[in-house]
Amino acid sequence: MEESPADQLDHHIRQQVAFLVFEDYTRWFCLERFGAAIDTLADDLGFTVLDTRAEIGHATSRLAAVTGAFAAAQTGQLAALKQGGQVPRPADLF
């Protein structure tokens, strides 16, 4: 992985292109449209993706977004919201 000036400022942040393994790729997918990527991989390549998002519980797409001031919220409050099927809007976390 190549170093860039931004990488040198904060070693926790690295642009996604720094993680490319091959010189050329036939397809690019964004995680925001993961479902479409699963379909494309199955249709074009016969590749089966085991979608475990529902089982793992990290996804928030099935939760109801709530508004509010959550920048100083304790983790317990956020966990209780998630248990109740809700999640703060990302902008409300700042």
Report pLDDT digits (tens) over 10-50: 667 778 788 888 888 888 888 888 889 999 999 999 999 99
Cβ within 8 Å of residue 52, ≥6 positions away: none
pLDDT of 31 reads 82
Helices (H) and strands (E) in the chain, counts: 4, 2
Q: Where are the domains of the chain?
A: 1-51, 61-94
Stated pTM of the model: 0.48
Q: How far is CA 54 from CA 50, 60, 76, 84, in A?
A: 11, 9, 21, 16
